[in-house]
Structure 1
């Protein structure tokens, strides 16, 4: 697939490395310009592009930037994406970094807020796994110790695309319901950072509370 990655930090870098290794056509952009991505491009074969071109022709667009930076993304960012593009949000709200986001503080899920900023539905995944584990711990289906990742979203076709991609990356893809249920995988929840098995993940998601713990509120 043609995949655009917006953000080249830890998660964006890990996904760039894995997805290019799997043979996908990956474009990657960051806020500092394509010239700053020369080393990553040389290592992976990904194409560095300006932010305004990151989604051009893409069947999947991955937004993996600090939550507080989402409103500053270029307007019309997704206008040139492929029809039916699946947009992935990997982000988490950390008030100490992002500042106070009133809607999230008042109960809107992180990814619902991101979808509202982008004007496009999103699928939430990759937000609760360490970048090194995302890069190094994917294994074929049936391998003991395989990590399960929750995938939340409202668009059935987009979610199906993302579920397949998660499996291709070597993780068990667990359908975790709608975006409005994605609080179950936000920071502070039992599944966050747990590297849970396919059997354990549903239990952890069921144990989650919509009330944020104090360290994840402003």
Structure 2
């Protein structure tokens, strides 16, 4: 499978490492400071135990190159830069027609002091997913990987009997299995919440709830994740 990652930051790079190990063809791109991307890949690859052959298999390109390369595209733009990224793709004639696009974005802004906060007014009006679908109506769009901290998107941090869930929404009947496989191959348990993209805002609200939990219960410690569990039969 060919995967193009638009803006390979913390989320995209962690996913890319898992997928490259399984033989995926992966092209990475970066919205800002793309010249530093290969150095960052080398560092995280060594940290995650990739060998030289695996590291050499990563491909690099522009945001547009990654959009065109992937059978599946991961769209992981920084929310304050989302408009710029979508504009650049549009300007190059990208439509994502018939392609599976998985977006991972929470509506988190940053103030002048570099404090991050959820854009609650934006969340009341719409969701990132719905806005991306408006911009690219021909895309087969999913939301996933936004309900777990990027630092925990390393399956080696979890025991085999305690792998957290990744909740996803969107797509169509012909694409759900592919999204499910990508989540499983990343090392997590897929949990499908339905195809209606209007429900993507619920996942974004889950991100807001997560930050309230981190602040009030876990004293700023981001080393937690939501899960979906069943009782013992």
Taking structure 1 as the reference length, the TM-score comes to 0.75
Match of 1:115 in 2: 133
The answer to whether the 8 Å contact 1:150/1:176 transfers is yes
What's the counterpart of residue 104 of structure 1?
Answer: 122
Closer, same or farther: CA 158–138 of 1 in aligned 2, 3 Å? farther
Q: Gaps spanning 5+ residues in structure 2: where?
A: 46-54, 214-223
Candidates 168, 180, 192, aligned match of 1:175 = 192
SS of match in other structure, 2:125:
coil
Give 1:155 shift.
2.5
Q: Give the distance between the partners of 1:147 and 1:100, measured in 2 at CA.
A: 23
Give 5+ residue unaligned stretches, structure 1: 201-218
The match for 2:77 is 65
Instruction: Report 1:12-31 matches (<5 A).
Output: 12-31=12-31
Partner of 1:195 in structure 2? 226
Q: Larger helix proportion, structure 1 or 2?
A: 2
Structure-1 separation of matches of 2:184 and 2:158: 9
Alignment of 1:24-173 (within 5 A): 24-32=24-32, 34-42=34-42, 43=45, 44=55, 45-73=57-85, 74-76=88-90, 79=94, 84-96=98-110, 104-119=122-137, 120-137=139-156, 143-173=160-190
Report the TM-score when normalising by structure 2.
Answer: 0.71
Check the 8 A contact 1:27/1:48 in 2, yes or no. Answer: yes
Greater Cα radius of gyration, structure 1 or 2: 2
How far off its partner does 1:27 sit?
Answer: 0.2
Matched-pair contact (CA < 8 Å) for 2:19–2:185: no
Measure the CA separation in 2 of the matches of 1:22 and 1:78: 31
1:34 Cα deviation from its structure 2 partner:
4.5
Q: Which residue of 2 aligns with 1:7?
A: 7
Does the C-alpha gap of structure 1 residues 4 and 161 become closer, same or farther in structure 2, counting only changes over 3 Å?
same
The answer to whether the Cα contact below 8 Å between 1:59 and 1:86 also exists between their aligned partners in 2 is yes
- Change in 2 beyond 3 A, CA 1:85/1:118: same
Residue correspondences, number? 197
Residues 30-49 of structure 1 show CA distances to partners (whole Å, capped at 9, x for unaligned) of 12364322224554331111
Q: How far did 1:152 drift?
A: 0.5
1:95 deviates by 3.4
Q: Secondary structure at the match of 1:114?
A: helix
CA contact (8 A) 1:145 1:197 kept: no
Q: Quote the Cα distance in structure 2 between the aligned partners of 1:179 and 1:36.
A: 34
